[in-house]
Amino acid sequence: MPNLSFTAPTTVDEAVRMLAGGAGLAKPLSGGTDLLVQLRSGRMRPEAIVDIKRIPGLIGIREEAGEFVIGAATPGVMLSAHKAFEHAWPGIVEGADLIGSQQIQGRASLAGNLCNASPAADSVPAMIAARATCVIAGPNGRRTAPVEAIVIGPGRTSLEKGEFIVEFHVPKPKPHQSDAYLRFIPRTEMDIAVVGCGVNVTLDGNGVCTDARVVLGAVAPTQVIVEDAAKALIGHRLDEITNAALDAAAQRACKPITDKRGTIEYRTKVAGVLARRAAKLAFERAGAR
Amino acid sequence: MAKTHVSTIINGEPVEFLCEPQQTLLDVLRDELGLTGSKEGCSSGDCGACTVICDGNMVCSCLMLGAEAEGRSITTVEGVAQGDHLHPVQQKFLEHAALQCGFCTPGFIVAAKALLDENKNPTEEETRYWLAGNLCRCTGYDKIVRAVLDAAAVMRAEAAE
């Protein structure tokens, strides 16, 4: 990396100029827990690193009318320490909290986890399930996109040159609405998801599901919104028949690969199981509100 | 490429250094500042041997650029003892023989201190989860966990005095 530059701008406009300015690859740096590994291995050869953490608002969580606004570079430790957000969206916090060790949690951010664009990213399914959106700054100003529009394939995002995520907007849950995220790994800590599943449900006063979103991770090139799984839940309580329909819908949505963490058959089977378990948790939480 | 001038606080002392853009905080600590307590194990954030505390958060110094340290406050293993007076975690590591080759020890000491700064009375399970980002190939972890729990008990007793 003979020509690498490092800058730490304090405004969004300045950061966009630095990211868009050069001919070569420019990377925004938030927690760096993926970027620095890629830099060292030579897998990523940027000419500019732009540290976005000095921009006001990029770190921190604020509550606005009807929503939470989370700075793109907010580290995991801040997310899990925010009681109101954890109460509102326990599944998002569960997912983010599963990323790496306590040391990684000191730095790793939602935007980094999303833009690293791994199909197995643990914070992403629950964010999509919660219908979170992101504000993206770029040379043409700001735009808003749903979280599911960012990852387009392993390691690839829809962000244009010069664009970076500034913040996430997560709507506050409605009455009887809650979520859950579960992932399966062969041990208890420090691994990458074989399958991950985020479920967000809204119930009526009788425990019947009125709205749902089921999102799978690590079973396709991107996270998958399983429309049929949501359809299986809406209008029903979580009984045996609903569970069977949910399980089958989750399995049908899988287009996984076989790798050292699991085969196609195994991942597909586990996706159905995790969808049922995450739905059970989300229904219990939503019902308790 | 131009080096970046960085002003930071390390173990309570103001420090200035020049670093290349790609130099990690760990590179700077070891190669520029002579603070060789933090170890380079995996260089990918898996082993925790390079653990330091940055503005109150435990981080892998191999996954942080030196240039990012501008204006921050960093604690390394060299800052854990007060002069010749060992921190209870360090004392208990000795008493419990919670180290063999010692390469992982600085990372464990910093991580354990960070745990006890936040949680005065951690359970064994909390301790094991907290230390999951620190790898040790010698001890089998049990003596480390005993040492940390014992240090916690000592610190609680000291605080009660």
Would residue A163 count as lying in a domain?
A: yes
Q: Quick one: A264 and A206 in the same domain? A: yes
**Residue A39 contacts B where some CB pair is shorter than 8 Å:** yes
The answer to whether the CB atoms of B63 and A189 lie below 8 A apart is no
Distance CA A121, CA B109 (A): 30
Residue A184 near residue A270 (C-beta atoms within 8 A) = yes
Q: In Å, what is the CA distance from A50 to each residue of A32, A70, A110, A111?
A: 11, 20, 17, 14
Chain A nearest CA to B98, separation (Å): 21
Q: Which two tokens stand for residue A104?
A: 């990684």
Q: Are residues A35 and A68 in the same domain?
A: no
Q: How confident is the model at residue B161 (pLDDT cuts 50, 70, 90)?
A: confident
From the list B92, B87, B140, the residue with the least C-alpha distance to B114 is: B87
Same domain, A127 and A156: yes
Give tens-digit pLDDT for B1-45: 689 999 999 999 999 999 999 999 999 999 999 999 999 999 999
User: How much is the pLDDT for A187?
Assistant: 85
**Distance to chain B for A223, nearest Cα, Å:** 25
My answer on whether B55 and B97 are in the same domain is no
- The alpha carbon of residue B158 is apart from the nearest alpha carbon of chain A, in Å, by 27
**Same domain, yes or no, for A68 and A29?**
no
Q: Which of A171, A191, A225 is the last residue of a domain?
A: A171
What are the tens digits of pLDDT across the range A176-227? 999 999 999 988 888 999 999 999 999 999 999 999 999 999 999 999 999 9
Nearest CA in chain B to A2: B1
Chain B residues within 8 A of A75 when measuring between CB atoms: 57
Residue A281's domain comprises 177-287
Contact A4 B57 (CB under 8 A): no
| 3-class secondary structure per residue, chain A | CCCCEEECCCCHHHHHHHHHHCCCCEEEECCCCCHHHHHHHCCCCCCEEEECCCCCCCCCEEEECCEEEEECCCEHHHHHHCHHHHHHCHHHHHHHHCCCCHHHHCCCEHHHHHHCCCCCCCCHHHHHHCCCEEEEEECCEEEEEEHHHCEEECCEECCCCCCEEEEEEEECCCCCEEEEEEEECCCCCCCCCCEEEEEEEEECCCCCEEEEEEEEECCCCCCEECHHHHHHHCCCCCCHHHHHHHHHHHHHCCCCCCECCECHHHHHHHHHHHHHHHHHHHHHHHHCC
Report how far residue A253's alpha carbon sits from residue B160's, in angstroms, rounded to the nearest whole number: 58
**A27 at B interface, C-beta within 8 A:** no
Same domain, B156 and B92: yes
Q: Which domain-ending residue is among B30, B61, B79? A: B79
- In total, how many domains does chain B have? 2
Residue A107 to residue B64, Cβ atoms within 8 A: yes
Domain count, chain A: 3
Structure confidence at residue A26 as a pLDDT band (50, 70, 90): very high
Contact criterion met (CB < 8 Å) for A103 and B48: yes
ipTM above 0.85, yes or no: yes
CATH of the domain at A92: 3.30.465.10
On whether both A123 and A187 belong to a single domain, the answer is no
B65 interaction partners in chain A (CB closer than 8 Å): 6, 29, 32, 36, 49, 51
Is there a single domain that holds both residue A43 and residue A129?
A: no
CATH of the domain at A33: 3.30.43
Please indicate, yes or no, whether residues A227 and A282 belong to a single structural domain of this protein: yes
- Quick check: B111 contacting A, CB < 8 Å? yes
**Residue A103 touches chain B, beta carbons under 8 Å:** yes
Find chain B residues with C-beta within 8 A of A29's C-beta: 65, 68
Q: Are residues B41 and B101 in the same domain?
A: no
Q: How far is A7 from chain B (nearest CA, A)?
A: 9
Domain that holds residue B25: 4-79
